[in-house]
Amino acid sequence: MRKRTAPYRDRGTRRAAASRKRRLPGNHPRSARRRGERPHGSGRTQRELFDQLLSESCRGLTWNLIDKAEFHDACHRARAAGALDPLDALFARIVDDDPAYLYH
């Protein structure tokens, strides 16, 4: 029987698994969990969800009227502090009558 080499033995150990986890980029969702934070969702996914929800009532959103930082700030305040006023004001500016999807 052949003797196993050190790299083969090291692949399955806990220390090797821990070192693989440490190599994740800082913005990776698991990195956020390790720091005790909740990972942030995808802004594109949130925009799609809002577009689909409003399309069912024949309305849409004009996303180019706001910038990314403003949208993320309003979402963060709503999630973290429960302050819905910035998000309400943001949607009041960008809701229009042109839906992104047509449901018939």
Whether residue 47 is found in the same domain as residue 92 = yes
User: What burial letters (b/e) apply to 35-45, b meaning 16+ CB within 10 Å?
Assistant: eeeeeeeeeee
Confidence of residue 96 (pLDDT cuts 50, 70, 90): very high
Q: Is the pLDDT of residue 17 over 80?
A: no
Question: What's the pLDDT at 44?
Answer: 80
Sign of CA dihedral 52, 96, 66, 73: negative
Which amino acid is located at 93 in the chain?
R
Question: What's the pLDDT at 93?
Answer: 94
Average pLDDT, the chain: 76
Whether residue 14 is found in the same domain as residue 29 = yes
The rounded distance, in Å, linking the Cα atoms of 14 and 17 is: 5
Question: What's the pLDDT at 23?
Answer: 58
pLDDT tens profile 66-86: 998 898 889 889 888 888 999
* Domain interval for residue 49: 43-96
Over its C-alpha atoms, the chain yields an Rg (Å, rounded) of 22
The rounded distance, in Å, linking the Cα atoms of 98 and 61 is: 8
Whether residue 35 is found in the same domain as residue 47 = no
More confident position, 68 or 24: 68
The answer to the question of residue 101 being in a domain is no
In what helix (H) or strand (E) does residue 73 lie, and over which residues does it extend? helix 68-80
The DSSP code for 46 is: H
Question: What's the pLDDT at 85?
Answer: 94
